[in-house]
Amino acid sequence: MGPVPTQHRNALGKLRQVAKIRFRKPPITAGGIIVLITRYLHSGWMIVHLCFGMWTLPCPVELRKSVPRKLREELRNAEFESWKVMPGRGRGVELYSQVPKANAWIFNKSGLSTSEWATCLKMNATLAAVRGVPGRSLDGSRCRHGCPETETLAHVQDQCNRGLLLRNARNHHVRSLIANALRKKSWIVEEEVFCLATNGSSRRIDIIAYSQTTKKGCIIDPTIRIETGSSQPEDVNQEKINIYLPTVGYFKTKYQLEDIEVIGLLIGARGVIPKFFESYRKTFELPQTLTADIITSVLKRSCQILSHHIHSV
Ligand SMILES: [Zn+2]
């Protein structure tokens, strides 16, 4: 028998990793036993075997197919777990698992050009050519456009003045997508509305949607930021509540409403959709295509912001 090819050795190594994770001695709990019994009973093949005898029927094709699928899933999960705990590169990555469907652009490109798609992959892997990445620049890690900050992807996407106009355009486009979807559901919607807070200061909200029938309304503020952690959606929501709650009285009087809720909706600048966003989309009965449209829009514009930052003089 000749030497084992390198790719086979790698595959064997990976499978050993999975085996270590999967076959570690699990704690026996009542919940665990119920799950095992449920899985067993859910398998049609097992039920047929129990009824007609295990020795007479061959293993069906579906079950044979499910084994490699399960292995791939375990490998994928193991890689994700190791990515999640990486210092720096794993920051905010746990948000990717909240709505897995939102990551479909990685496989189907979702309307991105090949170059945009490649840039998005780089941003997701924190490999974009910003100066903050160690070893990327001989001129130091400060922002190339004069900001006294380290040039990280978060600085480029969320803070740098260089991308201010493009950042605003990204926000406006997402705001319009949400506002139009709400209008189709018979809400009365206004965008970019000037208002006054209780202390007399002026503010401008992104969206107010209300119904004259129920006398209820919502102030919705979609916010696009680089992903930083699993609690970020709730933190952003709280931040927006603190900003816009003092304006609720103004809108109650203006539109004769009885109840107004403030909602801050975080959307990841790298196309991540948190569970928090999806739960509100379902509450408002907005279509799934809205999520897909928002992801494509955000990814395209985040690419523009990065490209403008790196290539414009
Ligand atoms: Zn800057």
Q: Compute, in angstroms, the gap from residue 53 CA to the centroid of ligand 1.
A: 70
150 CA from centroid of ligand 1 (Å) = 8
Distance from the alpha carbon of residue 124 to the mean position of ligand 1, in angstroms? 20
Tell me how far the alpha carbon of residue 133 lies from the centroid of ligand 1, in angstroms: 15
Q: Where residue 171 falls among pLDDT bands split at 50, 70, 90?
A: very high
The average pLDDT across 44-51 equals 56
CA of 179 to the centre of ligand 1 (A): 31
Q: How far, in Å, from the CA of 152 to the mean position of ligand 1?
A: 9
Lowest model confidence (mean pLDDT) among 38-42, 110-114, 164-168? 38-42
- Give the model confidence (pLDDT) of 229-283 as tens digits: 999 999 999 999 999 999 999 999 999 999 999 999 999 999 999 999 999 999 9
Give residue 162 CA to ligand 1 midpoint distance, Å.
Answer: 6
Measured at the alpha carbon of residue 105, what is the angle toward residues 103 and 106, in degrees to the nearest 5? 80
Taking the centre of ligand 1 as the mean of its atom positions, its distance from the CA of residue 224, in whole angstroms, is 18
CA–centroid distance, residue 4 to ligand 1 (Å) = 51
Percent of the chain with pLDDT over 70: 79
Question: What rounded mean pLDDT belongs to the chain?
Answer: 85
Cα(146) to ligand 1 centroid in Å equals: 6
Predicted TM-score (pTM) of the model is 0.77
CA–CA distance, 88 with 79 (Å, rounded to integer): 16
CA 145 to ligand 1 centroid distance, Å: 5
Taking the centre of ligand 1 as the mean of its atom positions, its distance from the CA of residue 94, in whole angstroms, is: 27
Q: What is the CA(313)–ligand 1 centre distance, in A?
A: 13
Q: What is the pLDDT of residue 129?
A: 87
Give the distance (Å) from ligand 1 centre to CA of residue 194: 29
* CA atoms of 119 and 108, how far apart (whole Å): 15
Cα(102) to centroid(ligand 1), Å: 29
From the CA of 158, how far away is ligand 1's center (Å)? 10
What are the phi and psi torsion angles at 142 (to 5°)? -70, 155
More confident position, 133 or 146:
146
Using DSSP's 3-state secondary structure scheme, residue 193 falls into strand
Q: Return d(Cα 41, Cα 268) in angstroms, integer.
A: 40
Q: 155, 143 in Cβ contact below 8 A?
A: yes
Give the Å distance between the CA of 142 and the centre of ligand 1: 8
Residue partners of 273: CB distance under 8 A and separation at least 6: 98, 99, 102, 267, 291, 294, 295
